[in-house]
Amino acid sequence: MALVKVASTSELRENGGKEVNVNGTRIALFHSGGKYFALEALCRHQDKPIAPGKVDGEVVECPWHSWHYNIRTGELLDFLEGVRLTTYKVDVRGSDIYIDL
């Protein structure tokens, strides 16, 4: 486990997402409700990036075929039970966003 700086808060608008790459691991960051979230970047449907998806509260909609995930828990909210993207702990210090890998 190590804290890694991945972005600045100014790079993520409210209800926005951004993908970062940390040592080859693709991670989607989201900003919603004044909080920041980090999870696996690729949708479990067809491995497409979810960071450009529309965010509504704690839910992001995959921009490709509209699967929905909870950005806090990583849980898939459609069809299949028990499908979950890996989530990462986020720590915001000043204007810097860190995640725990």
Q: Which residues bind ligand FES (CB under 6 A)?
A: 43, 45-46, 48, 62, 64-67
Q: Minimal distance in Å, beta carbon 93 to ligand FES?
A: 32
CA–CA distance, 12 with 86 (Å, rounded to integer): 20
Q: Minimal distance in Å, beta carbon 46 to ligand FES?
A: 4
Cβ proximity to ligand FES, 28 vs 97, nearer residue: 28
CA–CA distance, 18 with 36 (Å, rounded to integer): 11
First to last CA, the chain: 5
Cβ proximity to ligand FES, 50 vs 97, nearer residue: 50
Cβ proximity to ligand FES, 31 vs 68, nearer residue: 68
Which tokens belong to 60? 């992001």
